[in-house]
Structure 1
Amino acid sequence: MLSLPAAELGPDNPLPALRPRDDVHRVDDRDRAGMPDDMARQLGHAPLHSLLPVPVRDGYGRSRRPRGLDALVIENDRLRVTVLPGLGGRIASLVHLPTGRELLYRNPVFQPADFALNGAWFSGGIEWNIGATGHTTLSCAPLHAARVPAPDGGEMLRLWEWERLRDLPFQVDLWLPQGSDFLYAGVRIRNPHDRPVPAYWWSNTAVPEDRRVLAPAEEAWYFGYDSRLRRVPVPSYDGVDRTHPRNSPYAADWFYEVPDGRRRWIAAVDADGHGLVQTSTDGLRGRKLFVWGSGPGGRRWQEWLTAPGTGGYCEIQAGLARTQLEHVPLAAQGDVSWLEAYGPLDTPSVGEWADVVGAAERRLAAVLPRARVDEAYAAWRPYADTEPGTTLATGSGWGALEVLRAGLDLPGTPFPESTLGDAQEPWRQLLRTGALPEPDPGRPPGPTLVAPPWRDLLETAPATAHTEYHLGIAQWHAGDRAQAVRSWERALRRARVPWPALRCLAVADQEAGHHERAADRYADAFGALCREGHDDGGAWTPALAALGREALEALLRVRRAADARSVWQRLPAAVRRRGRFRLLLAELLLAEGRRTEARAVFDAGFEVADLREGSDDIGRAWARLTDEPLPGRYDFRMRPDTG
């Protein structure tokens, strides 16, 4: 158990994620010219257009108190590794025992923020990102964990789950050979389908930012929050050495162009020559530095994600492609695997780039030869299929449902029926009976499965209002928007409870540019939801908050302040006190012409717990209110031109 000040994750958003979230990783088409062919091709390969079937996780707040987080510890005589299986398998700590040095940036708090593809994410440690460009939807989700035999006769800690955006099972095997200064991580992603699937992986390691980041490259692909991707020299760009994270004024990614045939590694080393190195077999091609920047927005984000007085951090990363903007085709019935190693590196960080990188490379070769990593990978690969022994943690039941549906055989990563839960039960009944059971009238509709086999089952199931609602979501995900609208209209005609279908139709109206009709439907949906249940902290609150927010935004967009005020007054008091809704109140007051009261909301202070990475919501509202500079407490700007 790891005890630290922690915010609660809270409930998931019960509304289906019909719209893609704001994408800060778009690439300007002008930058594609001159790219390597494989990079240009992979930049356009199967980008994510929807979060479905994954829910948005936005129920967390910013009130922290001491809590215990489930933790698993593995160690040898050289390293101690602390893993959080309930939070995406994050490695929270990697301590070098002979020196007592923490090799990672270890966050002293658990504070979710809106950086994952589906919302909740937290900073620090080593995270495993699978799915699509961005932080994985599993950032704050439980993984399965168990002990398995290791190639050296010891034990490995296996972590595994079913990634739902791409429907791919994966595993991470962690072990510490006796006497080794390096943690090994064997990773495998499998495609059990009869079609190619886009694959994505980046291992992200947080390290203190008072380091110099070293990698065997003389060029990098620079990506800022202006959507431009440029090839730039390393280490200096615009006359500044960017391998020192604090030298960049704004948040940015630096994807290093490691030459073919060169050993793949990246390190972060302090002024005294102590640090961490990550290396791998060649299958994990990319290496990257992420920096927050020295500007006020970057500093504010760092404060937001941790505790006051904590030193800043940067991230050194490793991935399947050159950049995180790419997705790699994974063949039908195929898999991809590699081995990573993490450990201490003592090497000079001061000096000319070529000299410093050369010295680091020689030191790495001395403490962990490249051949030893390849040998460890070859030794591990046969153990990847070994069935787990003692269960240490349990993930979701979604993998078990897919195994049940498709009869999959996945040696080494079992998804037993015993892991099926309430969320999967309606879909198991659909499999067995051909009919989707009626929902619990005391709760909002549950999650929807959208993959083609589930859509086929919904299309042949008896056409109840509940089935038509879910079928419309699956059709929307498939790109058949006209048919989705027809399904929701049929659901609305049959429904005793109309608000779920009304909300879906409102989203469809917005996407089609019919904003007045969308506002009407949002107002009707919210009114219908309020008639179902208007609690203050109970089962209906997440739905009231989610639908209330969307309704307020839709009504304010078409300047219907009176209708927006009506929605505001019907929200539970606890919801109105949240920072997101304090910001909406300021916008509502502005729409009503009550500028002094809107300014008072800002002056009183609020914190938008689910402020999105790259968002300028607060800045835009402030700019409508006054020409004064944006106060520091509200300044989260990640690029110079954000107002």
Structure 2
Amino acid sequence: MAGLGPESPLPSVQPLLEPPYIVDGGIPDEIVEGSRWGKARNIYPYPLQDAYSRATSATELTAVVLENGHVKATFLPQLGGRLWQLTDKATGKELLHTGDRIQFANLALRNAWFAGGIEWNIGTRGHSPTTCAPLHTAIVRTPDGQEVLRMWEFDRLREVVFQLDAWLPADSRVLFTAVRLRNPNAETVPMYWWSNAAIPQTPGTRVIAPATRAYATGYDGAMTVVAPADFRGIDATWPDRNPQAADFFFDLEPDQPRWEVAMDDGGDGLALVSSPQLRGRKLFVWGEGAGGHRWQEWLTPSESGAPPRLYAEIQAGLAQTQFEHVPMPAGASWQWVEAYGNAALDPVLASGAWDDAVDHAGERVEALVPGAVLDAALADAGRWADLPPSDFVVAGSGWGALERVRREASGAVWIDEAGTPFAQETLTADQAPWLELLRADADGGEGSSRRPFAGSASFVRGLDWEELLAAQRNESAEAVFYRAVMAHARADFTSAADRQAVAALYSRAMGGHMTAEMVRAGNYPDGIVGAGAPLSNRSRALACRGVGLAMIAAGDIDEGLQQLETACAFDPGNRALVVEAMTLAVDSGRPELVPDLLERGPLALSSLGRVRFLLARAKADMGDSAAAAALLKEGIEVADLREGENSIAALWHRVCPGEDVPAQYQFGMH
């Protein structure tokens, strides 16, 4: 496994990438409207996980195995509860795509993601904030003797609690999972859930769902209505017939049974079946182009010289497509059941005409897990949902425990924790400063004045936190800085008033305008005095960064980049800060800043693949194509290359005209 490395020290206030534009023509109003509502501005307060490398080493993980005479399921609770392997014991086949290593890459909302198994995604479009983080994990024993694996966590983006129960009855040919979402908030929240299964892809792989049409996206910014068995002249339900990466969201009618099946050339493969609440079904393919194969090789490396082990994905979600959010009312609790097993199709019948294949697959799915059995499993899950855990296996984060304390302090509603306890023991140094702030507020004004907020290595979100910081009798510089970060995270940066308000808070915390020259000369204001120490250099750096981002958003590129340069001067050892400043300098047409930032940054930066690529871009932009080409030909490996990013190949075309792009740089998806 690759090491994840430390979390980013930068508050994640940068906007999320925009989803593709949806063409209204032919797309139902429900999908169009759902795609325009609920999108998160950013992933704050979660920090990015972007410090991993491509190097792997033997790593011990906790696994939880559920097994009977028919099925063996292996879960990894320290990595988002990933269902890593699902084995059909009758055939010996692995129903899921996995590798012999876990290799991180930049595909998730927090950056780090890995291919394989079944992943649970909550919050907003993209791979979940918890996909590479531990979940609270325990074993529950029911009164009738069933052992249940329970995993749960507090989602900090939507401020809801999610819970996943998994169990395998003694004679069952399917693994059951039950998901419960609880919204303790006093308002409706946008909700998103997709269960994402990676399946082995062979020439005989076909994916079937009970739909006659699908909504297709091809990573070109458009969505179109297609017949899944006739997409641009091909039958796209066979993954290896797709020339390019594509998503197909099957259009299941409201009264259609909820299933999707993948089969191999022997008819075996994963069936994903659920109760009606999970309406969406999706097929994702990487495509058979050089870029699609390169991505699969990148995500699931094989032995040197061996072709990549290919995979596709089948998925199930709350909405019809992944561009939509579903309104979850205040106080609501939702639960559904999913079942996973081998539908064992007849490969001849399943390879035929689409309608015949759907009819046959529907019969086999019903035989594998009859509707009455699925209904009974949902009823069981409802009875078991609040049973207390018996044996604890893995501890998740302390943010759920802090949230309980916060809500108790403010009199807000919280969940019944009987089945999903957030123990005090899970609180760590990340939560300690915020817990102290709550306790200081409970002490009253005198306590607040005794203990001015001294800062934190972590960040939180919520207007009540901002009010607590603002209510301190003697407001500290750190308190103003953290208020500025929270205001930045929720600001609409298309609004000049929002930009100005955020920049003003940052500047107030610092005590006024600063430049890199002032920092290097040690001649700068201390900021607010009278309550605690001046801002730490770390906070000064992040405040300058915040001002710089606000100015760049306002179109004041030069001043914004100067503020980022000042931020790097305050904290020159901050790798994430320097790399971000270099990236924004190149993207903003100021490549000449890159060498200077690199020279003043940490020595280790010069060997980082991302930095070598930025330097090559900067040299090309400054007219030195030969130097840029030399860097590319030496070899650059950008560990955190973003999904869909084709910038290395684009640079090669610029500086090495007429030369074919090397295979290792071909990541194009359309």
TM-score tier by shorter-chain length is: over 0.9
CA offsets 1:496-525 (integer angstroms, 9 cap, x no match): 522121111111111111100011111111
1:631 aligns with 2:623: no
Shift of the 426–34 alpha-carbon distance from structure 1 to 2, 3 Å rule, reads same
**1:459 CA drift (Å):** 2.4
Q: Check 1:319–1:496 CA distance in 2 against 1; reply closer, same or farther (3 A cut).
A: closer
Hey, what's the Cα distance between the residues in 2 that align with 1:562 and 1:97?
61
- SS of the equivalent of 2:216 reads strand
Q: From the superposition, tell whether residues 559 and 293 of structure 1 become closer, same or farther in structure 2 (CA, over 3 Å).
A: closer
Aligned to 1:424: 431
Q: 2: CA distance between counterparts of 1:35 and 1:558?
A: 36
State whether structure 2 residue 625 is matched by structure 1 residue 595: yes
Normalising by the residue count of structure 2, what TM-score does the alignment of the two structures yield?
A: 0.89
Q: Cα distance, 1:372 vs. partner?
A: 1.1
Q: Hey, what does 2:65 align to over in structure 1?
A: 73
Residue 265 of structure 1 is matched in structure 2 by: 259
> Which stretch of the first structure deviates more once superposed, 143-152 or 267-276?
143-152
Match of 1:105 among 97, 114, 119: 97
Q: 1:409 aligns with which of 412, 415, 429?
A: 415
1:481 lines up with 2:490 in the alignment? no
Instruction: Confirm or deny: 8 A CA contact 1:151 1:379 kept in the other structure.
Output: no
CA distance in 1, matches of 2:358, 2:195: 22
Aligned to 1:123: 115
Say if 2:484 is the partner of 1:472. yes
SS in 1 for 2:599: helix
Alignment correspondent of 2:14: 19
* Secondary structure, aligned partner of 1:272: coil
The answer to whether residue 449 in structure 2 is matched with residue 455 in structure 1 is no
Pairs within 5 Å for 1:300-379: 300-308=294-302, 309=306, 310-348=308-346, 349-379=350-380
Query: TM-score, normalised on structure 1?
Result: 0.93
Contact 1:271 1:350 in 2 (8 A): no
The CA deviation at 1:468 is 1.2
SS where residue 339 of structure 1 aligns?
Answer: strand
**What do the CA deviations read for 1:549-593 (whole angstroms, capped 9, x no partner)?**
122233345555554322111222322111101101212322444
The Cα of 1:189 is off from its aligned counterpart by 0.5
Task: Answer with 70-79 or 263-272: which moved more.
Answer: 70-79
Report which stretch shifted further, 277-286 or 99-108. Answer: 99-108
Aligned to 1:516: 558
Q: CA deviation at 1:137?
A: 0.9
CA contact (8 A) 1:471 1:484 kept: no
How big is the shift at 1:168?
A: 0.9
Query: How far off its partner does 1:100 sit?
Result: 1.7
CA 150–437 in structure 1, closer or farther in 2 if over 3 Å, else same: farther
- More displaced 10-residue stretch of structure 1: 163-172 or 591-600: 591-600
Structure 2: which amino acid aligns with 1:58? D
Deviation (angstroms), 1:256: 0.3
Question: Matched residues in 2 for 1:561 and 1:172: separation?
Answer: 48
Paired residue for 1:35, among 27, 39, 55?
Answer: 27
Q: Give me the identity figure in percent.
A: 39
Query: How many angstroms apart in 2 are the aligned matches of 1:33 and 1:555?
Result: 39
Which deviates more from structure 2 when the two are superposed, residues 57-66 or residues 347-356?
A: 347-356
* Partner Cα distance (2:21, 2:625) in 1: 38
- Cα distance between partner residues in 2 of 1:257 and 1:369: 22
Q: Assess if the C-alpha contact under 8 Å between 2:626 and 2:655 holds in 1.
A: no
Residue 621 of structure 1 and its aligned partner are, at CA, apart by 2.6
Counterpart of 2:653, as a letter, is A
CA contact (8 A) 2:616 2:632 kept: yes
Alignment pair present for 1:608 and 2:638: yes
- Distance change in 2, residues 1:150/1:104 (3 Å): farther
AA partner of residue 321 (structure 1): A
Corresponding residue SS for 1:624? helix
1:552 pairs with 2:594: no
Show the counterpart of 1:142.
134
Hey, what's the Cα distance between the residues in 1 that align with 2:435 and 2:225? 50
Give the Å deviation of 1:26.
2.6
Paired residues, what number?
615
Counterparts of 2:121 and 2:78, CA distance in 1: 15
Alignment partner, residue 203 of structure 1? 195
Distance in 1 separating the partners of 2:406 and 2:146:
35
Partner of 2:531: none
Does the aligned pair in 2 maintain the 1:185–1:339 contact within 8 Å?
Answer: yes
Letter aligned with residue 219 of structure 2 = Y
Relative distance call for 1:565 and 1:381 in structure 2 (3 A) is same
| Worse-matched range after superposition: 65-74 or 203-212 | 65-74
Measure how far apart 1:143 and its partner are. 0.2
Distance 1:79 1:150, change over 3 A: farther
Find the counterpart in structure 1 of residue 509 from structure 2.
491
Q: Measure the CA separation in 1 of the matches of 2:587 and 2:299.
A: 31
Residues 1:393 and 1:587: Cα distance change in structure 2 (over 3 Å): same
Q: Which amino acid in the other structure matches residue 312 of structure 2? A: C
Give how far 1:321 is off. Answer: 0.6
Distance in 2 (CA, whole Å) between partners of 1:525 and 1:199 is: 36
Partners of 2:585 and 2:271 lie apart in 1 by 52
Task: Answer yes or no: is the 8 Å Cα contact 1:502–1:525 preserved in 2.
Answer: yes
- 1:463 aligned partner, one-letter code: E
Q: Measure the CA separation in 2 of the matches of 1:438 and 1:632.
A: 53
Contact 2:452–2:475 at 8 Å: present in 1 too? no
Per-residue displacement from partner, 1:96-120 (whole Å, max 9, x unpaired)? 2232211111222100111111100
- Alpha-carbon distance change, 75 to 517 in structure 1, aligned in 2, over 3 angstroms: same
Note the alpha carbon deviations across 1:478-512, whole angstroms, 9 max, x for none. 22433221110111111352212111111111111
Amino acid at match of 2:397: S
Distance 1:370 1:151, change over 3 A: farther
The runs of 5 or more residues in structure 1 that have no matched partner are 1-5, 535-543
Say yes or no: does 1:577 pair with 2:607: yes
> Could you tell me whether the CA contact under 8 Å between 1:151 and 1:383 is conserved in 2?
no
Map 1:386-397; keep pairs closer than 5 Å: 386-397=387-398
Cα pair 1:545 1:575 within 8 Å, conserved:
yes
| Mapped partners of 1:632, 1:405: distance in 2 | 52
2:381 aligned partner, one-letter code: W
SS at match of 1:314: strand
Q: Is the 8 A contact 2:78 2:135 kept in 1?
A: yes
> Following the alignment from structure 1 to structure 2, what is the Cα–Cα distance between the partners of residues 99 and 221?
34
CA distance in 2, matches of 1:261, 1:562: 60
For the 8 Å contact 1:74–1:82, the answer to whether it is kept is yes
User: Quick one: which of 139, 146, 149 aligns to 1:157?
Assistant: 149
SS at match of 2:58: strand
Return the offset for 1:150: 4.1
Alignment RMSD, CA only?
Answer: 1.7
Asked whether the equivalents of residues 300 and 636 of structure 1 are also in contact (C-alpha less than 8 Å), the reply is yes
Q: How many Å separate the matches in 2 of 1:437 and 1:630?
A: 57
CA contact (8 A) 2:152 2:161 kept: yes
Structure 1 distance, partners of 2:616, 2:163, is 46
Give ranges in structure 2 of 5+ residues lacking alignment: 409-413, 442-447, 492-497, 512-526, 528-534
Deviations along 1:101-149, whole A, 9 cap, x unmatched?
1111122210011111110010000000001011101110000000112
Amino acid at match of 1:636: F
Verify: 1:193 aligned to 2:185, yes or no: yes
Does the CA contact (< 8 Å) of 2:594 and 2:615 recur in 1?
Answer: no
In structure 2, distance between residues paired with 1:169 and 1:188: 8
How much has 1:597 moved relative to structure 2? Answer: 2.1
Contact 2:585 2:591 in 1 (8 A): yes
Q: How do 1:171-182 residues align onto structure 2 when only pairs under 5 Å count?
A: 171-182=163-174
Shift >6 Å, 4+ stretches: none
